[in-house]
Amino acid sequence: MEKLKERWGITSNWSIVAIFVVFSINGSFATWVAKPITVFLGLSQETTNPWVFWPLRILLIFPIYQLTLPIVGWFFGQFKFFWEFEKKFLSRIGLGFLFKKQEE
């Protein structure tokens, strides 16, 4: 636990527990939100080939997860951690330009 606290820059065990809970809840929430969207798009397991359905569903879940992670983190008092986490993660996959300051 001490290594995680040091790596993540947090000081309390409560923060570690809250962070793990946020990751868990947000994963479930993102999959729950994706279900009606896939239905709206006309994709269902019964009518769509699994080799098409599951990659599309995962591609849909990914942005939902990224958008809702800081929000769910906020409910647990961990917004700052998850906002920094998002910026770092999205920068690593090439979307860091979203967080660069505009030059005037």
**Cβ(66)–Cβ(27) under 8 Å?**
no
C-alpha–C-alpha distance, residues 67 and 84, integer Å: 13
Q: Give SS3 for 42.
A: coil
User: Can you give the pTM of this predicted structure?
Assistant: 0.79
**Cβ(29)–Cβ(72) under 8 Å?**
yes
- Per-residue pLDDT at 103 exceeds 60: no
Q: Which residues have a Cβ under 8 Å from the Cβ of 99 and sit 6 or more positions away?
A: 87, 90, 91
pLDDT digit string, tens, across residues 28-76:
999 999 999 999 988 888 888 999 999 999 999 999 999 999 999 999 9
